[in-house]
Amino acid sequence: MKSQTRMGRVAIVLIALACVFSISSKSGAQATPRPMNFMDVMEMRTVASPDLSPDGKWLLYTLSVPDWKAGRAFTDVWLASTDGSSNREMTFTHDKNETNPKWSHDGRFFVFASDRDAPPAAAGAATSGAAPAGGGEGAPRSRNQLYLMRPDGGEAARITDVRDRVGTFAFSKDGKWLAFSAGRAQEQQIWIFSTAELELGKAKQLTKHSTPITSWQFSPDSRRIYFLSPDSVDKADRERLDKRFTVRIRDQQSPAVHLWALDLDSRKESRLTSGTDYTVSSVTLSKNSQWIGFRGGSMNRYEKGTDAPDYADLYLLNVESGKIERLTNNRDISESPLSFSPDSSWIAFSASDDFKYFYNDRIYVRPVAGGEWKKLGSNFDGDVRMGFWSKDGHTIYSTVGTGATTQIFAVDVATGTAGPVTHVQGAVRAMREDDPEEDSEVVLLSYSDPISPNNLYVTRIETLADQNAWKRVTDSNPQVTAIQLGKTEAVRWKSSDGAMVEGVLVYPLNYEKGKRYPLIVQIHGGPAGADTLGFNGRYVNYSHVYAAGGYFCLMPNYRGSTNYGQKFKMQISGDYYRQAFDDIMTGVDNLIKLGLVDENKMGVMGWSAGGHWSNWTLTHTNRFKAISSGAGTMNWISMYAETDTQLNREFYFKGKPYDNFEHYWNESPLKYIKNAKTPTLIHVVEGDPRVPRPQSEELHMALEKLGVPTEFMVYPGSTHGIPDMRNQMVKMVSEYGWFEKWINGKQAWFDWKSLNDTIKDDTRRPERTSEERPADPN
């Protein structure tokens, strides 16, 4: 970051509304809704890990509640009735996490993982040296152990005491066994309980494989466990890390991973795949346990990274004969994992149309025994991906982006046609569970819209189209009912080439017709993505905070976005910025023409591809007063080698840079940097693998040398987004303050005092009992 003097010890811009850093009220009900503030964004809660009871009457899930003072979220297990009548918190640990609850086969109890008994010094720390799972009284304990609990409440009983953390766990389909993995990453093996003896806590080690088990699952008939394991382990390489020779070797060679079966009666292992033709991942099983699908990936060390699925193909293994059939042979094309119909007679997967890179996704089906592939969904100009089968196998249900919404589509296996079942003005996604009863088809949905944060809903296939028939079973963020939100709608306009473009528009609070307001253009990432009418409550855009400060926010779905057809998505290939930039600017002009926006008070922000277009905007117009560029590219030539993915760069920029330097350079904002005049705030994560820090360094150095006002925020981490709460807050506060300074003429834009004041000395929240804690999340 640049000089502390320029930042100053001055009063922080608090988005022109009171108490923007105040901790949210514990009560979700207030007489008069108040504007959204930064802390509201930080305190948004998340539901995850849903698991329906066998009778379909109850849903286990987790609720993650951010703790601002602790700087992280803590997760508890909740239990809701699927008729919407009850929603109870089941665990109440202090500064610990309960995760991944799973029902027993008979629904009498459930099991979850937790770090509740991990000593602070040992929690999350790997122990040195090999140690058996199920260590004795003095064994050091790690982060996660397994616990058993009954749905009527009571204390959870710990059932494991492993030395090196519990990994994944699952019940067998017949309900007789509970298995889990345990051990250090390079030593993990499988352990197993008889469910009749769970409370005795006596797990037995099931595997003693010569190499670590990386993933596993029970067969549907509960007779076997299938697992993946590498063919070898480089012990010297592991030892050098223990001895702190910690150099990271780029694209280090790794052994093939192969598929094994373990018979639960004989306890004998058998190898199912071998050789160096491919490495195995993404294993799926037919419900009759007679077929196995898997992805066979490239053994080329340089094709095992982010682009690995594009270099893999699908295979089908006959369990009885051991025969393996290669199903696809598509270089540079990614296929979804193989899916089996409920009666195990059909197989399906999704991949790009006619296996051409970046074409619309289609579903391909054929009889499992063999035959021609049939393509489904060709009548719809958009991506139709594999979802879940109807019980009779006649229909595949798919989550589909269309315009500024996502819907559930039904794909007819016989006719191949796809069409919408839902017609929501929001974002809905199917989270299908196995049928809890033979005669029911229960569907679990996640749904959000502009005024409703994401929650889980239960319905049946026959009522899927009727949103009023859905039963909401979670209430993740009831505090939102006490917050005034900006009116949000989809808007359309004509671009420079006559094509219609759509975006999402958030109005300022208390909007007055005829009055012009400042505008922030918020450009989504991807670029193969789209902004939809879901709830806007993340640190990336936080549009409702801007609405509280009197801004319009426009989120344009520019050329290159998904949800608008194949031509719209692919049109920027070979001409990356030009038409998309016009789409954005004509959207801005449309708002000015409608009398909504003050053209002298506009800013642009974006992250990832949104940062790319922010940088292009910086070098191609001076109409904006301020820009915030997050993880944006400046130089596509250097970016090609720095990033963790190359195939999509080659698609967008006409091949490799070594064959087309001129085109790569012509599409680089750095070429036009001398045009830049707009004050620009830059953000990047230190170890971002997708758009690495040097891209932001190139922008910052150029602006500094050219005398353009700039500040540069570098956040710790090794992810594409900002990983921690504290720095997510810094991003929002600094960004908002930057716009306030350059758009609205505020004197100061950032200082640390007000942020520091949000963290008091009493950083630990008090322990609460089940009686003291509310029945619903607040």
| Mean pLDDT score of the chain | 90
Higher pLDDT, 182 or 762: 182
Alpha-carbon distance of 310 to 82, in angstroms, equals 40
Specify the pLDDT at position 118. 84
Structure tokens at 353: 């149309």
* Chain segment 614-639, per-residue pLDDT in tens: 999 999 999 999 999 999 999 999 99
Alpha-carbon distance of 303 to 331, in angstroms, equals 11
Alpha-carbon distance of 433 to 51, in angstroms, equals 8
Give mean pLDDT, residues 169-176. Answer: 96
State the pTM of this model.
0.90
Q: What percent of the chain has pLDDT over 70?
A: 89
Specify the pLDDT at position 119. 76
Specify the pLDDT at position 31. 58
Confidence of residue 657 (pLDDT cuts 50, 70, 90): very high
Whether the per-residue pLDDT at 121 is higher than 70: the answer is no
In order, the DSSP letters of 571-620 are TTTTS-SHHHHHHHHHHHHHHHHTT-EEEEEEEEEEETHHHHHHHHHHHH
Q: Which helix (H) or strand (E) holds 662?
A: helix 661-666
Q: Nearest Cα to 21, choosing from 13, 31, 32?
A: 13
Q: Give Cα separations from 489 to 34, 502, 522, 553 (angstroms).
A: 21, 10, 15, 11
Confidence of residue 19 (pLDDT cuts 50, 70, 90): very low
> For the chain, what is the radius of gyration of the CA atoms?
27
Which of 117-126, 240-249, 360-369, 539-548 is predicted with the least confidence, judged by mean pLDDT?
Answer: 117-126
Specify the pLDDT at position 77. 97
Confidence of residue 642 (pLDDT cuts 50, 70, 90): very high
* Chain segment 718-749, per-residue pLDDT in tens: 999 999 999 999 999 999 999 999 999 998 89
Q: Give Cα separations from 724 to 99, 133, 315, 515, 685 (angstroms).
A: 20, 32, 40, 39, 11
Tell me how many degrees the CA angle 41-42-48 measures, rounded to the nearest 5: 95
SS3 174: coil
Strand partners, 224: 263
Specify the pLDDT at position 139. 39
Confidence of residue 186 (pLDDT cuts 50, 70, 90): confident
- 94-122 in b/e burial notation, b at 16+ Cβ within 10 A? eebbbbbbbbbbebebbbbbbbbbbeeee
Specify the pLDDT at position 776. 35
- 7-19 in b/e burial notation, b at 16+ Cβ within 10 A? beeeebbbbeeee
Q: Residue 250, class by beta-carbon neighbours within 10 Å (0-12 exposed, 13-18 middle, 19+ buried)?
A: exposed
Backbone φ and ψ for 178, nearest 5 degrees, come out as -125, 120
Specify the pLDDT at position 94. 75
270 CB-side CA count, 13 A: 10
In order, the DSSP letters of 300-344 are -GGGSSTTGGGG-EEEEEETTT--EEE----TT---PPPEE-TTS
Confidence of residue 154 (pLDDT cuts 50, 70, 90): confident
Spatial contact of 555 and 538, defined as CB atoms under 8 Å apart:
no
Confidence of residue 775 (pLDDT cuts 50, 70, 90): very low
Specify the pLDDT at position 431. 87
Specify the pLDDT at position 435. 45
C-alpha 347 chain-centroid distance: 27
Backbone φ and ψ for 498, nearest 5 degrees, come out as 90, -10
Which of 5-14, 83-92, 363-372 is predicted with the least confidence, judged by mean pLDDT?
Answer: 5-14
Spatial contact of 560 and 553, defined as CB atoms under 8 Å apart:
no
Confidence of residue 4 (pLDDT cuts 50, 70, 90): very low
Spatial contact of 211 and 196, defined as CB atoms under 8 Å apart:
no
Give mean pLDDT, residues 362-381. Answer: 97
Q: Nearest Cα to 213, choosing from 241, 175, 184, 250?
A: 184
Q: Give Cα separations from 654 to 308, 621, 636, 755 (angstroms).
A: 21, 26, 12, 46
Specify the pLDDT at position 233. 92
Whether the per-residue pLDDT at 553 is higher than 60: the answer is yes
Specify the pLDDT at position 184. 86
Specify the pLDDT at position 199. 83
Give mean pLDDT, residues 202-226. Answer: 96
303 CB-side CA count, 13 A: 17
First to last CA, the chain: 37
* Chain segment 662-716, per-residue pLDDT in tens: 999 999 999 999 999 999 999 999 999 999 999 999 999 999 999 999 999 999 9
Whether the per-residue pLDDT at 192 is higher than 80: the answer is yes
What 8-state DSSP symbol labels residue 186? T
Specify the pLDDT at position 393. 95
Give mean pLDDT, residues 466-495. Answer: 97
Specify the pLDDT at position 130. 31
Residues 6+ apart with CB under 8 A from 203: 133, 134, 159, 160, 180, 191, 192, 193
Specify the pLDDT at position 128. 31
Whether the per-residue pLDDT at 589 is higher than 60: the answer is yes
Specify the pLDDT at position 578. 97
Backbone φ and ψ for 440, nearest 5 degrees, come out as -130, 155
What 8-state DSSP symbol labels residue 468? G
Residues 6+ apart with CB under 8 A from 5: none
Alpha-carbon distance of 520 to 541, in angstroms, equals 10
Q: Nearest Cα to 603, choosing from 507, 521, 539?
A: 521
Q: Nearest Cα to 530, choosing from 408, 386, 425, 402?
A: 402
Specify the pLDDT at position 717. 96
* Chain segment 66-115, per-residue pLDDT in tens: 999 999 999 999 999 999 899 999 999 878 999 999 999 999 999 999 99
Specify the pLDDT at position 734. 97
Specify the pLDDT at position 699. 98
* Chain segment 422-447, per-residue pLDDT in tens: 999 999 999 865 444 444 578 999 99
